[in-house]
Amino acid sequence: MFTLHCKERILKIDSPIVMGIINSTPDSFYEGSRQLNTDKALHKAEQMINEGATILDIGGQSTRPDSTLIEADEELRRVLPVIECIRKKFPEIFISIDTFYAKVAKNAMHAGADIVNDISGGNMDENMLATVASLQVPFVCMHMKGTPQNMQHQANYIDVTKEVLFYFEERINACRNAGIKDIILDPGFGFSKNATHNFQLLKDFAVFKTLDKPLLLGISRKSFIYKTLGITANDALNGTTALHAIGLINGASILRVHDVKEAMQTIQLIQSYLK
């Protein structure tokens, strides 16, 4: 069991949980995740909560390959109203802010968020680790080489699993030295990785359990699934579910998903299978 301190509350993970994706962006790779006003975001949040989500992950910047970088102020303009409305209507839900900007993380916490989810593991903003430490909230540390604008040109590894493992060891030390107590690890499927790398990481996923941190699996509807199947992201739910099952068997603690109901059903079945 993992215990995460989310400001005044405790999030206990004694079985796998689901993080639902809500994007306040016009250009996220999966159209179904885009909620461009607070009413739509609230409706999506209610649906995800009713289906069993423990965390809602709010993002204001697309981080798909070759996406356009936006500045922190624009990201704040997109995410703060969504966070404030969700926190007011659903006070019990845990909210994470998907950002690599320390300024966004800090303001999102004041608006009601509980967790910082950083695709760069603190490497794109030198103030991020100190900011998270001062806020005393959990930190999702993801592996990525480069930035979303150039990461796919850096998908070069001798041993992808070993490199991600070494990266996590270094980042855990950096987080601890900064004063961050609760860390969640995300291998970063699709970020500076090709399909071969993604499948290898999924095969080796259990290796990361040696780090004794909650493991986040973020593969929902990603291109290595739909391109392997010769379909589109809109048709990739079945493929996502199949790989979620593998990730859960190999030790995933958190599924970050577009489709909460199906993820919850997968967790229920795998838990029954593992008994």
Catalytic residue among 222, 227, 261, 275: 222
Q: What's the sign of the alpha-carbon dihedral 29, 32, 38, 41?
A: negative
pLDDT for the residue 28:
53
Specify the residue for token string 């916490």.
109
pLDDT for the residue 179:
98
CATH topology (fold) of 2-274: TIM Barrel (3.20.20)
pLDDT of the chain along its 275 residues, tens only?
999 999 989 999 999 999 999 988 765 544 554 456 788 889 999 999 999 999 999 999 877 666 678 899 999 999 999 999 999 999 999 999 999 999 999 999 999 999 999 999 999 999 999 999 999 999 999 999 987 877 778 889 999 999 999 999 999 999 999 999 999 999 999 999 999 999 999 999 999 999 999 999 999 999 999 999 999 999 999 999 999 999 999 999 999 999 999 999 999 999 999 98
pLDDT for the residue 67:
66
User: Does residue 245 sit in helix, strand or coil?
Assistant: helix
Question: What is the model's pTM?
Answer: 0.94
**Separation of alpha carbons 124 and 116, rounded Å:** 14
**Separation of alpha carbons 220 and 241, rounded Å:** 8
User: Does residue 147 sit in helix, strand or coil?
Assistant: coil
**Separation of alpha carbons 62 and 119, rounded Å:** 11
**Separation of alpha carbons 184 and 140, rounded Å:** 5
**Separation of alpha carbons 60 and 58, rounded Å:** 7
pLDDT for the residue 66:
67
Sketch the domain layout of the chain as residue ranges: 2-274
Look up 256 and say whether it is catalytic.
Answer: yes
Specify the residue for token string 């019990």.
92
Name the token pair of 175: 């987080």
pLDDT for the residue 30:
44
pLDDT for the residue 31:
52
Catalytic residue among 78, 145, 171, 256: 256
